[in-house]
Amino acid sequence: MSIRPEYPVTRKDDTVDVYHGTSVADPFRWLEDDRSAETAAWVEAQNGVTFAHLRSIPFRDALRDRMTRLVDYPRSSAPEQRGPWLLFARNEGLQNQPVFYLQRGEEGPAEVLIDPNTLSADGTTRVAGLTFDGQARYIAYMVSHAGSDWQQIQVIDLATRMTLPDIIDWVKVSAIAWQGNGFYYSRYPETAEGEGTFSSKNEDHQVYYHTLGTNQADDRLIYHDPEHPQRFHILGTTEDERFAVLEISDRGQGKDGNAVLVQDARRPEAGWMPVWTEFDDQLRVLDNDDDALLILTNRGAPNQRVVRVDPRHPAEDQWQVVIAEREEPLESVHTAGGRLFTLHLRDVTSRVAMHAYNGTHIRDVELPGLGTAIGFDGERDAQSVFYTFTSFTAPATVYRYDLATGVSTVYRAVTLPFDPSQFETRQVFVTSKDGTRVPAFIVARKGLVLHGNNPTLVYGYGGFNVSLPPAFSALRVAFLEQGGVFVQANLRGGGEYGEAWHQAGMKEHKQNVFDDFIAVAEWLIANGYTRSERLAMQGGSNGGLLVGAVMTQRPDLAAVALPAVGVMDMLRFHTFTIGWNWIADYGSSDDAESFGYLHAYSPLHNLRDGVRYPATLITTADHDDRVVPAHSFKFAARLQEAHAGSAPVLIRIETKSGHGSSSLTKQIEETADVFAFMLHQFGVTPAFT
């Protein structure tokens, strides 16, 4: 389809690292310095080639316009009810950021509380994490700029609607947990600007308490563990603010669980009481039931269960089972109206039930269909609760659930600028290389003909216990309208079937994830959906690693590869920002055994000279301080050097954006470019109405 572009020349140096007796060249190491003039010039040159290619695609602008029309519809989040207030977010259609509204009761007028679109000229300032204080007098919230994971906490007075002078900086991986006249938060020590703020390793996570009306410099240090600088410390409080709950993770040491310490406001002299001190299992405090804690855990239950623990007598043999483990994984548990709402997954779709705090099953919640339910959070005296339901063909719709009657009613309906009923979803189960049954969702127009030539996009993730349930995307409709087939593969490494499914795709078992993805793609070809020349593979972050690994192992499998913000250098990922946090899932090249399997699949290190790789559009962003852009920079440089084919292998580097688009405008532009690139390589010229 394309003439091979003239790629910028990328300088190589003689950097070599030695891992456990094995020498590994890293000639593009200099691209890790994303603040150097040389790297900036490289980025500019690469973007010059990439955007020249994208501009040459004749239908690029029309595709972007169609996507803009598709996403132009009002949509709202489920309200959070606290005291007299309902808090929710709403986008009228094309606003770069959703606007936060506050209304008194369900019938009161909605008034703008915070409009993030007014905080920056380009719409890349985000607001998130809005948290009421216990008396519903204040809301603390987090502000981030240009897609960065660094956040600033601000506070608004709900009576005056004025922002208080309290400013909390250097916040990352944090909750906001109110107690009394202030709140707890987590932060890192201040880093001088210009010294790797967006790429240097983040260590020494600390918990502070801020009293309203004081300066951050006067905040009280609550917890600090300098002997373990690569631990996360996240503090929350129970709804009645009696218990402060500190969760500590040690993922930098390869541990995939967390410890739990609590402070009881009624017994301050007891200090921090250890509830669980090991790091191999996950425990999350849901709420307190008088003196006891209700905890969601996978300890002794890979599919999770709920237990009651007395923090004064926390020995495991004293735990009481409240909700037992089931064959279906317990994805999450929520509290409202003095009830527990359990969300199980059955073949990746939601099943919800309501229980008493003693575990008694009250009733199953009847959902609108097969799909994904999110929400069911509320105060202890709530009479109703809100939730959102969505699927691949149903937009996220807000429902109100009456706790007494068990009836769900639509609270906020959604009107789309297109008819989603023209599409349908099918779930299939594919046999992977080792015989494992792997689910995948297939979304396409009704009446799809299996002639082996349909443009097909396979999306996957497969890691970190993250499930990929059904979800709606208006932007994706622009592809489906053209006869496209979207496939979402639920790979091992995720949480779709509990902790055993997760562990089957982590560390030394990571190859299972790639094998699962390959099996899904081959099944689609064998069953007449498509052929390799009309197949694309896509994934972001850990999913970008997935695409990078599959395209290096099976360059013949697909015509197009779309790795986004991927972890491409598996030998050095833990040296940047919070990359050490991923050691629990990946392992570390510092360990001899882990080095062996990491080096065997690391995308950067498995590109081979003279191979025809798929047409590739790598996407990343200059403010991604989670998976730093150096991963994509180095992979792009090596791919352009190794690639023997004429298909373009390009990198698109967004500005003022991070690990995901920082505004709706940027999301539309990037998605349109990715889909235009893919369709152009397929030889498909879309027709738009």
- For the annotated catalytic residues, the residue numbers are 541, 659
How does 603-637 read in b/e, with b if 16+ C-beta sit within 10 Å? bbbbbeeeeebbbbbbbbbbbbbbbbbbbbbbbbb
Q: Name which of 335, 338, 332 is nearest 350 in CA terms.
A: 332
Q: CA geometry: angle at 659 spanning 129 and 189, to 5°?
A: 65
Q: Spell out the alpha helix ranges (H) of 271-368.
A: none
How many whole angstroms separate alpha carbon 209 and alpha carbon 185?
7
Is residue 115 within 8 Å of residue 63, measured between CB atoms?
no
Structure tokens at 82: 């606290």
Which single residue is written with the structure tokens 């009613």?
409
How many whole angstroms separate alpha carbon 26 and alpha carbon 16?
6
Is residue 252 within 8 Å of residue 573, measured between CB atoms?
no
- In sequence order, the β-bridge partners of residue 336 are 339
DSSP 7: P
Angstrom distances, CA of residue 608 to CA of 29, 480, 639, 651? 18, 34, 9, 19
Structure tokens at 332: 């999450």
Contacts 24+ apart (CB under 8 A), 93-102: 94/68, 94/664, 95/123, 95/664, 96/122, 96/123, 96/124, 96/663, 96/664, 96/665, 97/123, 97/125, 97/126, 97/127, 97/663, 97/664, 100/127, 100/130, 102/158
- CB 377: neighbour CB atoms within 10 A? 16
